[in-house]
């Protein structure tokens, strides 16, 4: 539910913080006081279009914030304080793009709309009604009849998957032949080279040895001579040891030098063995260089390294196998597709039958509620039609309505006036389950009065039994059913006129209802009638 709405510099509202309670909230005030700005603020939180012209004169931007809480819809101590909180915020500059925030994080207008639409639904005289859209009307019928779409959705998905698979097998013979030739060339080319992971590093090392083999051998022989020849390093090293041996100051150094001598002999032996293994081989060098070049060519075409080249070969070989066995594969896929289409048709038939059976019941339920909402001559029909390529599911659902005797039926968005359309939306919400936590009705009572107005108020109270409902109204019969009453009024502050929103206590409600009934809030008779209306409405409220 929405626990607080903060509005700054929107239209005639300079700044207002509006705490909100569960249940039904009535918003009243003189014409032109700014009630529409409250609805517009909620619309902006729900992702509505931002109009810079709505920014208060002299301000740089309008800011609207709403705090929502999840969980219980009452103000008791049963977990409300611990319920998760969420804040939506909208900045509308006098010039430039608007900015949106969800829980303090900068969001796109689309993201704000997705979140806001899940929490707020506005039914106004000029607002776009979500339930007037065909998709939502179909969803409304399904929800009314509790139709399970799981099997149909899964069956249609299976058909779509198989159709994509069939398409991927290739339908053009010439294109398929070209693809087969290309894939076979790629597989054969990689197979002819036969690269092995890690091979490039090994070949690079071998090439380095062979490319400079003569210089390597010369360097090794020179080193052997300098270390091991008569009178060379080893002999000089031995003479140095003899000069130091037996002399006390050098005992530690002599021991260290003694350890070096065997190591020098080992290195000399390994050097002789290694130099014998290095033989110039121009033929092998050319072979290595040629193979490295072929591997480079493969990498240039098929991957960054040999692993990627081999992975491409496996994919190409798999695709080639599929294409070469296309006839058998297509036959299998077509058989699966036929079975999937049959399953989808069966599931669609079940859904379509349920929709057609439920359509007149939904129409009758709407007529019954609308007759209570000052539309006693209203006729309703719920049309269920298949697409021309459909499978009998009745996906085209449209609620048709006639609000005047003798008038033809038509779509609810085309034949109903603003006030009538709001009442149709109210009736739909009363006969359906589910919906957003916060519903706003802007002058849903337009064009009604007397007992019909009382029926509208009672209907709104019923709807508010399990959600939060805000209604902008001029009718005291409707406002009297509210759990909370907000008064929107204008005040002159200095040289400016500002709109003030205040929550009325019991005495304040009596005064406001008196004004709404007679235009004379100070009239004793009007106050008596207002108190009687509040007492009567209180006894008729429906709270869950």
Instruction: State the CATH number of the domain containing residue 478.
Output: 3.40.50.300
Report yes or no on 411 lying in a domain.
Answer: no
- Report the Cα 50 to chain-centroid distance in Å: 22
Report yes or no on 178 lying in a domain.
Answer: yes
Same-domain check for residues 522 and 452: yes
Rg of the chain in Å (alpha carbons): 43
CB 536, CB 481: distance < 8 Å: no
Phi, psi of 33 (to 5 degrees): -75, -25
- For the chain, how many residues are written? 544
Domain containing 85 equals 1-124+443-544
CB 458, CB 542: distance < 8 Å: yes
CB 41, CB 504: distance < 8 Å: no
Same-domain check for residues 293 and 184: yes
Same-domain check for residues 214 and 322: yes
Same-domain check for residues 100 and 34: yes
CB 199, CB 332: distance < 8 Å: no
User: What does the angle CA 363 – CA 368 – CA 373 come to, to the nearest 5 degrees?
Assistant: 115
Same-domain check for residues 85 and 209: no
Same-domain check for residues 119 and 184: no
Same-domain check for residues 31 and 112: yes
Same-domain check for residues 221 and 281: yes
- The pair of three-digit structure tokens given for residue 306, joined into one six-digit string: 């040999």
How far apart CA 543 and CA 462 sit, in angstroms, is 7
Phi, psi of 389 (to 5 degrees): -110, 15
DSSP E strands, 318-452: 379-385, 396-402, 410-411, 438-442
Same-domain check for residues 89 and 196: no
Report yes or no on 482 lying in a domain.
Answer: yes
Q: What is the pLDDT of residue 172?
A: 67
Same-domain check for residues 65 and 199: no
Sign of CA dihedral 25, 510, 13, 57: positive
Tell me the pairing of strands 13-19 and 2-10. Answer: antiparallel
Report yes or no on 148 lying in a domain.
Answer: no
Helix spans in 432-483 (H): 450-463, 476-479
Domains in the chain: how many in total?
A: 2
CB 384, CB 394: distance < 8 Å: yes
List CB contacts of 431: < 8 A, sequence separation 6 or more: 144, 362, 365, 366, 369
CB 501, CB 16: distance < 8 Å: yes
List, for residues 332-366, the tens digit of each pLDDT value.
888 999 999 999 999 999 999 999 999 999 999 99
Q: What is the pLDDT of residue 132?
A: 67
SS3 string of 189-223? HHHHHCCCCCHHHHHHHHHHHHHCHHHHHHHHHHH
List, for residues 123-164, the tens digit of each pLDDT value.
765 544 566 677 888 988 998 999 999 999 999 999 999 998
CB 127, CB 389: distance < 8 Å: no
DSSP E strands, 20-124: 24-28, 61-69, 85-93, 99-102, 105-107, 120-123
Residue that finishes a domain, picked among 289, 310, 326:
326
How far apart CA 224 and CA 389 sit, in angstroms, is 90
Report yes or no on 243 lying in a domain.
Answer: yes
- The pair of three-digit structure tokens given for residue 189, joined into one six-digit string: 């080319």
- Report the Cα 82 to chain-centroid distance in Å: 26
How far apart CA 98 and CA 309 sit, in angstroms, is 50
Report yes or no on 420 lying in a domain.
Answer: no
Same-domain check for residues 71 and 188: no
Same-domain check for residues 208 and 311: yes
Phi, psi of 148 (to 5 degrees): -90, 115
Alpha-carbon distances, residue 171 vs 56, 147, 284 (angstroms): 63, 38, 49
Alpha-carbon distances, residue 337 vs 52, 160, 394, 444 (angstroms): 54, 9, 22, 50
Residue that finishes a domain, picked among 308, 326, 344:
326
Residue ranges in the chain modelled with pLDDT below 70: 71-82, 124-132, 170-173, 209-215, 218, 220, 231, 281, 327, 388-390, 413, 415-419, 422, 433-434, 447, 539-544
Report yes or no on 369 lying in a domain.
Answer: no
Residue that finishes a domain, picked among 326, 343, 371:
326
Q: What is the pLDDT of residue 290?
A: 85
Report yes or no on 543 lying in a domain.
Answer: yes
């Amino acid at each position: 539910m929405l626990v607080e709405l903060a509005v700054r510099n929107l239209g005639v509202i300079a700044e207002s913080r509006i705490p909100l309670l569960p249940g039904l909230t009535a918003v009243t005030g003189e014409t032109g006081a700014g009630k529409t700005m409250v609805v517009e603020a909620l619309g902006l939180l729900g992702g509505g279009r931002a109009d810079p012209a709505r920014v208060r004169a002299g301000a740089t931007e309008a800011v609207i914030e709403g705090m929502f809480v999840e969980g219980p819809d009452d103000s008791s101590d049963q977990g409300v304080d611990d319920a998760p909180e969420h804040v939506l915020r909208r900045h509308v500059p006098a010039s430039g793009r608007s900015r949106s925030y969800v829980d303090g994080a900068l969001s796109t207008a689309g993201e704000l709309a997705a979140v806001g639409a899940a929490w707020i639904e506005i039914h106004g005289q000029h607002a776009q009604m979500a339930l007037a859209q065909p998709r939502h009307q179909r969803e409304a019928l399904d929800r009314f009849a509790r139709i399970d779409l799981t099997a149909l959705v899964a069956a249609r998905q299976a058909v779509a998957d198989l159709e994509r698979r069939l398409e991927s097998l290739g339908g053009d013979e010439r294109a398929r032949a070209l693809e087969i030739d290309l894939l076979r060339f790629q597989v054969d080319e990689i197979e002819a080279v036969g690269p092995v992971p890690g091979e490039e590093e090994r070949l690079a090392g071998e090439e380095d040895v062979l490319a400079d083999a003569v210089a390597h051998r010369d360097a090794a022989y020179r080193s052997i001579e300098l270390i091991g020849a008569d009178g060379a390093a080893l002999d000089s090293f031995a003479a140095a040891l003899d000069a130091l041996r037996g002399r006390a100051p050098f005992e530690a150094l002599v021991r260290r030098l003694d350890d070096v001598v065997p190591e020098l002999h080992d290195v000399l032996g390994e050097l002789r063995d290694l130099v014998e293994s290095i033989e110039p081989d121009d033929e092998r060098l050319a072979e290595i260089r040629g193979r490295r070049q072929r591997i480079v060519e493969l990498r240039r075409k098929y991957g960054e390294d040999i692993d990627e080249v081999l992975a491409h070969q496996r994919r190409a070989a798999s695709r080639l196998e599929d294409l070469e066995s296309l006839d058998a594969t297509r036959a299998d896929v077509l058989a699966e597709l036929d079975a999937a289409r049959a399953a989808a048709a069966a599931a669609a038939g079940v859904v379509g039958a349920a929709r057609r059976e439920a359509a007149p019941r939904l129409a009758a339920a709407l007529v019954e509620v609308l007759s209570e909402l000052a539309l006693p001559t209203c006729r309703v029909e719920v049309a269920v039609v298949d697409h021309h390529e459909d499978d009998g599911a009745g996906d085209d659902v449209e609620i048709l309505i006639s609000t005047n005797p003798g008038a033809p039926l038509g779509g609810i968005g085309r034949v109903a006036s603003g006030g009538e359309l709001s009442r149709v939306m109210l009736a739909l919400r009363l006969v359906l389950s589910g919906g957003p936590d916060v519903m706003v009705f802007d002058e849903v009572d337009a064009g009604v009065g007397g007992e019909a107005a009382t029926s509208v108020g009672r209907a709104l109270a019923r709807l508010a039994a399990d959600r939060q409902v805000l209604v902008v109204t001029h009718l005291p019969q409707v406002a009297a059913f509210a759990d909370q009453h907000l008064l929107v009024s204008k005040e002159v502050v200095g040289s400016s006129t500002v709109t003030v929103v205040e929550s009325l206590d019991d005495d304040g409600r009596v005064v406001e209802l008196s004004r709404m009934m007679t235009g004379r809030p100070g009239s004793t008779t009007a106050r008596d009638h207002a108190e009687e209306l509040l007492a009567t409405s209180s006894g008729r409220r429906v709270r869950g």
